[in-house]
Structure 1
Amino acid sequence: MANPSKKTNSKSVEKTGFRKYIVGFWTLFGIGILSIIILFLMAGWGAFGKMPKFEELENPETNLATEIFSSDGETLGKYYSENRTPIKYEDLPNHLVQALVATEDERYYEHAGIDAIGTMRAAVYLGSRGGASTIPQQLAKLLFTDNVSQNFFGRVMQKFKEWIIAIRLERQYTKEEIITMYLNKYDFVYQAVGVRSASKIYFNKEAKDLKVQESAVLVAMLKNSALYNPVRRPDLVVQRRNQVLKQMQKNGFLTSEEKDSLQALPMKIEFTPQGHDEGIATYFRVYLQGFMRDWIQKNPKPDGSEYNIYRDGLKIYTSIDSRMQKYAEEAVTMHMANLQKEFNYQNRNNKTAPFRDINEDEVESIINRSMKVSDRWKKMEAQGKSREEIVKSFDKMTEMNVFSWQGIKDTVMTPRDSILYYKSFLNAGMMSMTPQTGEVKAWVGGINFKHFKYEHVKQARRQVGSTFKPFVYATAIDQLKLSPCDTLPRNHFTIEAGNLGSQNDWSPANSDNKYDGMLTLKQALAQSVNTISARLIAKTGPRPVIELLDKLGVDTRDIPNVPSIALGTADMSVFEMVSAYSTFVNEGVYVKPVIVNRIEDKNGTVLYQHVPETRDVLNKESAYITVNLMEGVTQGGSGTRLRGTWAGNQDHYKRAVTGYPYDFKNPIAGKTGTTQNQSDGWFMGMVPDLVTGVWVGGEDRAVHFPGITYGQGATMALPIWGIYMKKVYADDELEVSSGAFPRPENLSIEIDCSRYNGKNSDHQYIPDELDF
């Protein structure tokens, strides 16, 4: 018979043992909870690494790119160490936010920084069914945690830090602010930091204009932007994009039909890099950098520190019109690519190509100078290489990418040969400006910034040739009250050595070798007659001409006080020429060119507002008469080809000239210019509200066409103006004037030569009087 007491004892032992397990379980559970709390506290106190302060959470340190805006509201480019331009939540399309939440954090609006369900799932299945990082945790990692630790304990501690920061973020910011901060911070690679930069770089549009499938691509990249990159691995990104669309349908943001139709669409990327060498207005942006450096030195922050254009998120509102800039760059590309073909053709039998009129020793001297200023020379010199080693390296065959008008070419050549290769290219400078306001609307400093860094609008100063003559005519008109109908003889003219202060007389020659008959001033300027320009400067003296240039904003320090400047021996920049010519159109009032209208900080506070600088230079009559004279250039001179009229065989020019016939019917004033040996070709073109200057030539003056047919400004530079203005006039939104130049009221000087009967008409002419 069984002993009842044994059964009782047995049950008691079982209960005691079970109670031990229960107590042990809850003890361990309590210890675990307490450990987690302690770990949280220790992490919060910074025991496992620096934690952000409250102030840092309020103002997380973020490098913000400075953005450059055109006058029509487009982004021209950015200055940045990280290409991040912040965006506001209201500018995010709803489907982008929906795609983000559906893919990265389905319970985003339900948790307070940590997703308990996701964390448990990740712990149970060891992450095989998805991670547990919420959007606040991912933002915390981006903002405040260091690189991922390589050991288990380090990764656990980092996860604790992310949890704590995520909770703090949730306390300090709204859900919308956290999403905005995250999308502004994430690096989409290819200098696309933040969703706004990514939208511009991968789709060439603002984020607010993204389509659903495009938003899905960007959200797909959040998993790993280097791996899931539409430029590098488009097929992989399409798969990931379709998974994002599936998640949007799962979470009720898309219907099944919408999901299926969007998944069937091909992925269309418009890759538009925003590197410093790429994009629109590259040369202008480099010049603007210098402007900003000067401004920053003179305008410190309220606390005395300097602004930083690479991380302070400034907004620079420029005068450049993005449409006109685009047309200008297209015009330069179209004509220069064609002109280069002709230049190469004419150099095929040139033993010193691309140079002319110099010997082999002079060629070697040019190459040696170029070697010494090259990046290769500077880099090797910094490495301690000897001169002999450096020179020898220039004769070693090297793989390189070189510029061509057909695209970048992969080739093998010596660095010495690459110097000759690049010197064989003709280059260009072009600037367009509104004369009444001084606003620079287009700035093209060269044919390709990545491969030709030297800038030809402001930096380069080249001999201006006959484009200088309007300054001589304007001085004579202002002093002597001449009419365009006054006549002068075309015959030989000499200024004796005694009047020049030199040992030799000066007797300029006419380019057409004609020296007979009388010409009106309008005819003389249209035909660019040198002897008549010499007669005019003999009457005025060179000093008043130089003084006029000084008032027109030209640096005259290196312009000699000699009559020969009348033929354009002075070196000037495109920038100076355009601003000076603009004064004639603006009724004699000089307006200093403006490139920046306004500067704001990242919060929209105005830091700089442009104030126009103007001064009266000429009276209205003198300015108008000068413009009227230059209208003759496009009516009966070298600029008549703008009208569709071209003396000689048009087929002879077809290889070099682009866009002809231009067939302009509206009033145009202008002047071509060609320097000695055709080293420089110029065209200055004006309509009532737009003045544009174009220069074309080689980097070295020895790089030029062999003859005047192709080497003149009317062939080298004028076509760029013609192509550009055709595009400008075709854009009705620009509303550029095609009317007549404004005529002063009560004009006292007759400009209609059919009615002119002044004392200097017909066989009477102004006597030659030297006055300098």
Structure 2
Amino acid sequence: MGKVRAFLKKTWVKWSLMVLAGIILFFVALYACIYFGLFGKVPTHEELSTLKQAEATQVLDQDETLIGKFYIYDRQPLAYEAFPKHLIDALVATEDVRFYEHDGIDNISLLRVFFKNILLQDKSAGGGSTITLQLAKNLYGREDYALFSMLINKFKESIVAQRMEDVYSKQEILTLYLNTVPFPDNTYGIESASQKFFNKSASQLTIPEAATLVGTLKATTYFNPRKSVARSQSRRNVVLDQMVKYNYLKGAKADSLKTDSLVIKYHSFNHDLGLAPYFRAQVKQQLQTILKAYKKPNGDAYNIYKDGLKVYTTLNATMQTMAEDAMKEHLTKLQAAYEASHGKNAPWTSNTSVFKKTLQSLPEYQRIKKAGLSEKAIDDSLSVKHSMDVFSWKGDSTAMLSAKDSLQHYLKLLNTGMLSIDPKTGAIQTYIGGIDYRYFKYDHVSQSERQVGSTFKPFVYTAAIENGMKPCSYYSIDAVTYTNYKNWTPTNAGQDPKEKTDINYNLEMALSNSVNTIAVKVLNDVGISKVQEQAQKMGITKALPTEPSLALGVAEINLIELIGAYASYVNNSYGVKPYMITKIEDKNGNVIADFEPEMLEKQAYSNYTRQVLLEMMKTTVNSGTASRLRTTYNLTNAIAGKTGTTQDNKDGWFVAITPKLVTITWVGNDNYNIGFKTTALGQGANSALPMFAKFYQRLNNDSEFNAITKSTFETPSNDVLKDLDCKLEKEDGWLKKLFKRKKTSKEFKGD
């Protein structure tokens, strides 16, 4: 005892003990300061018991397949029961092997770290962090406290971790952890990560897949399986070894699994990527508008980025994939032909008036111009090259381009819109607003209004039949000059001037072959106002021009309204209002709002008229302007339809009507000054129809869609069949030929 006293009286020992006591006192004081909130509030037990984390709103297709999300943090929660056991095992074996034994702080691990890592400088000793400590860090983050940041944050996390262990069971802590832990590519929670990297729910993860995702937690960027499959696979194998080491997996089983190559099925839910981005953007817009009328039970407004809503939509994800694939296949070939047809003097080259005018409308040009720079200085500025991502049908790339180069590249690109609906309900089945949402945010389905060309003609003929004109009424195909409309002379596309004009077509032949001269004559006889009224009854709300060219589709109509009107031909003469959201639920499954199909209140025309028009448009497909559906694409399905091409080949259209699906396709250049070089290339039958054909071929090859592809039209009534039973065409009699002038002139009455 005396020796101990003597030892303690030594000066260096006294100072050492004083220093040690000071350090201990410092740590105790610092811990107390943190505990009582002097370095920021520490969550209480009560606050921890009501944890709320921002949850992504899920967008689901008609089969409740996840097609997109709206989020700040990509997080999607699951219940503990949904986690496969091997996922939990992999996590515990790798991140916190004594998880079930400690109270949030693993003292054994801390001692190991202290002696091996700090004293012996053994970096392989690992860290002392537990799953609960990691959860505390994930939930509350870390703050910068300058010199003692790490120490203060660690103390805070230890206090929070121990309080969590008091409030939650081990299962609940694992659930919170797996639903909030960050994974690669700014993904939060195991469900979001599983959907993103393997395109499946976390409940369906295999052992290697679970090990892969758990392995990324060590360093989410370094072990990102999208960026480095080999590195991620190596880390996966380490996790499997950990599972063997702690008796969660047999060695032989692990060895077998390690021989499998890592295969990811990456499925981004980025707002600009993934399936149906234009559709999802429109859903988002509608959702924000709808939710203004609803409040949460506590009176707060709903937040689509944080409240974990579920939005059920009408989209069919499989059909959408087919439609997008068909669009890409067709537009790739059409774009190449389009560029080749324009040749070296294309309107998008830098020396053309179109290019110069478009360049001067650019915001960057306007900004520099406003600064007072000369045209030469502006040109120099817009000629400076920068690295930028560039869209191409051959694949995206990065290139050094100037503003002028970029404009020239994008001016030449064709764009598109495609929409398919269930004609009985208006439920949108597929929705393509453009060729690539990343580069072209403008939606050609919901935003665009283009001249509809000959797709308007069925409305003219519908009005004619509805107002008493017989299907076997004959009209001459010869051109007529309307003197009271600036001597306007509508002609037929591609008609040879030497071709005989003493031929008369009945209405079926005129519509199926899209004869312009006859469409205007029919409009003249039935009256513009009656045609306008008929279109309105079918659901066209756009004010239509009061001029004879209305018959040729000079009206600019939105795709959604146009397809809703066409649906009436297979919906008992009722137009429909296309819709995309069926139901909205909160995160607890409570229905916030649901929506029913909305048909127009009154029949737009009689069943007799509907059957006549449907027969006429069947002929369009069987032997008219859309006959390549039969001859080129070998489609034998029940299809009616109408092609459309606008003046100077600016727009190509095709509307396909089947008993259970109506589809509309449009193709054109966003710059209305640039059209197709030739009618052969730009006509709707060539520019727009193939997109539908390739889409329907895919539907035919999938038995899942037999209900659509094998459906048949109703049998027309005897009256309809009788009234259509006449020759499609006939020549003028000899007396009429004798007195008929080569070209007639008359006034357009219209009404």
- Same fold, TM-score > 0.5, yes or no: yes
* 2:507 matches 1:509: no
The alpha-carbon distance between structure 1 residues 477 and 166, as it changes in their structure 2 partners (threshold 3 A), is same
Alignment of 1:478-557 (within 5 A): 478-480=466-468, 482-493=469-480, 495=482, 497=484, 504-511=486-493, 512=495, 515-557=501-543
- Residue 333 of structure 2: which of 338, 357, 367 is its match? 338
Query: Deviation at 1:241?
Result: 1.8
* 2:90 matches 1:104: no
Q: Deviations over 1:101-153 (max 9, x none)?
A: 111111111222222222222233236422221111110111124246563x4
1:246–1:259 Cα contact (<8 Å) kept: yes
Alignment of 1:109-508 (within 5 A): 109-126=100-117, 128=122, 129-147=125-143, 151=147, 153-350=148-345, 352-353=347-348, 360-369=352-361, 371-372=362-363, 376=364, 392-480=380-468, 482-493=469-480, 495=482, 497=484, 504-508=486-490
- 1:649 corresponds to: none
Question: Unaligned regions of 5+ residues in structure 2, if any?
Answer: 737-746
* Alpha-carbon distance between aligned partners in 2 of 1:174 and 1:727, rounded to the nearest angstrom: 51
Query: Deviation at 1:603?
Result: 1.8
The alpha-carbon distance between structure 1 residues 690 and 267, as it changes in their structure 2 partners (threshold 3 A), is same
SS across alignment from 2:312: strand
Alignment of 1:658-677 (within 5 A): 661-677=632-648
Q: Deviations over 1:747-767 (max 9, x none)?
A: 363225675699x9999x9xx
The alpha-carbon distance between structure 1 residues 55 and 19, as it changes in their structure 2 partners (threshold 3 A), is same
Q: What is the number of residues matched between the two proteins?
A: 722
The alpha-carbon distance between structure 1 residues 20 and 731, as it changes in their structure 2 partners (threshold 3 A), is farther
* Alpha-carbon distance between aligned partners in 1 of 2:750 and 2:343, rounded to the nearest angstrom: 50
Query: Deviation at 1:68?
Result: 1.0
The alpha-carbon distance between structure 1 residues 48 and 400, as it changes in their structure 2 partners (threshold 3 A), is closer
Question: Unaligned regions of 5+ residues in structure 1, if any?
Answer: 1-11, 645-660
* Alpha-carbon distance between aligned partners in 1 of 2:345 and 2:149, rounded to the nearest angstrom: 70
The alpha-carbon distance between structure 1 residues 298 and 424, as it changes in their structure 2 partners (threshold 3 A), is same
Q: Deviations over 1:410-450 (max 9, x none)?
A: 33332112101111111111000000011000011111111
* Alpha-carbon distance between aligned partners in 2 of 1:751 and 1:387, rounded to the nearest angstrom: 72
1:485–1:751 Cα contact (<8 Å) kept: no
* The 10-residue stretch of structure 1 (509-518 or 60-69) with the greater mean CA deviation from structure 2: 509-518
Query: Deviation at 1:25?
Result: 13
1:435–1:689 Cα contact (<8 Å) kept: yes
* 2:713 matches 1:741: yes
Q: Deviations over 1:270-309 (max 9, x none)?
A: 3333322211101112222221222233334344443222
Query: Deviation at 1:203?
Result: 2.1
The alpha-carbon distance between structure 1 residues 172 and 588, as it changes in their structure 2 partners (threshold 3 A), is same
Q: Which amino acid aligns with 1:643?
A: R
Alignment of 1:611-760 (within 5 A): 611-615=596-600, 616=602, 617-644=604-631, 661-734=632-705, 735-743=707-715, 747=717, 749-752=719-722, 755=725
1:579–1:592 Cα contact (<8 Å) kept: yes
Q: Which amino acid aligns with 2:396?
A: I
Query: Deviation at 1:18?
Result: 9.7
1:694–1:717 Cα contact (<8 Å) kept: yes
Query: Deviation at 1:168?
Result: 1.6
The alpha-carbon distance between structure 1 residues 399 and 13, as it changes in their structure 2 partners (threshold 3 A), is closer
2:425–2:599 Cα contact (<8 Å) kept: no
Query: Deviation at 1:207?
Result: 1.4
SS across alignment from 2:575: strand
- 2:554 corresponds to: 569
* Alpha-carbon distance between aligned partners in 1 of 2:27 and 2:49, rounded to the nearest angstrom: 27
2:483–2:748 Cα contact (<8 Å) kept: no
SS across alignment from 1:348: helix
SS across alignment from 2:183: coil
2:423–2:661 Cα contact (<8 Å) kept: yes
Query: Deviation at 1:346?
Result: 1.3
User: Normalising by the residue count of structure 1, what TM-score does the alignment of the two structures yield?
Assistant: 0.87
Q: Deviations over 1:313-347 (max 9, x none)?
A: 22111111001110110111000000111112112
Q: Which amino acid aligns with 2:561?
A: E
Query: Deviation at 1:490?
Result: 2.7
- Residue 35 of structure 2: which of 24, 27, 44 is its match? 44
User: Normalising by the residue count of structure 2, what TM-score does the alignment of the two structures yield?
Assistant: 0.89
* 2:586 matches 1:601: yes
- 1:654 corresponds to: none
- Residue 565 of structure 2: which of 580, 590, 610 is its match? 580
* The 10-residue stretch of structure 1 (194-203 or 587-596) with the greater mean CA deviation from structure 2: 194-203
* Alpha-carbon distance between aligned partners in 2 of 1:391 and 1:548, rounded to the nearest angstrom: 52
1:87–1:184 Cα contact (<8 Å) kept: yes
Q: Which amino acid aligns with 1:238?
A: Q
Query: Deviation at 1:353?
Result: 4.4
1:84–1:194 Cα contact (<8 Å) kept: yes
SS across alignment from 1:428: strand
* The 10-residue stretch of structure 1 (250-259 or 406-415) with the greater mean CA deviation from structure 2: 406-415
The alpha-carbon distance between structure 1 residues 26 and 98, as it changes in their structure 2 partners (threshold 3 A), is farther
Q: Which amino acid aligns with 1:346?
A: S
1:145–1:161 Cα contact (<8 Å) kept: no
The alpha-carbon distance between structure 1 residues 351 and 340, as it changes in their structure 2 partners (threshold 3 A), is closer
* The 10-residue stretch of structure 1 (534-543 or 54-63) with the greater mean CA deviation from structure 2: 54-63
**Over aligned residues, Cα RMSD in angstroms?**
3.3
Q: Deviations over 1:184-212 (max 9, x none)?
A: 21221313222122112222222122221
Identity %: 36
- Residue 76 of structure 1: which of 67, 76, 81 is its match? 67
1:445–1:456 Cα contact (<8 Å) kept: yes
Query: Deviation at 1:381?
Result: 9.7
1:79–1:309 Cα contact (<8 Å) kept: yes
1:493–1:534 Cα contact (<8 Å) kept: no
The alpha-carbon distance between structure 1 residues 386 and 119, as it changes in their structure 2 partners (threshold 3 A), is farther
* Alpha-carbon distance between aligned partners in 2 of 1:261 and 1:209, rounded to the nearest angstrom: 20
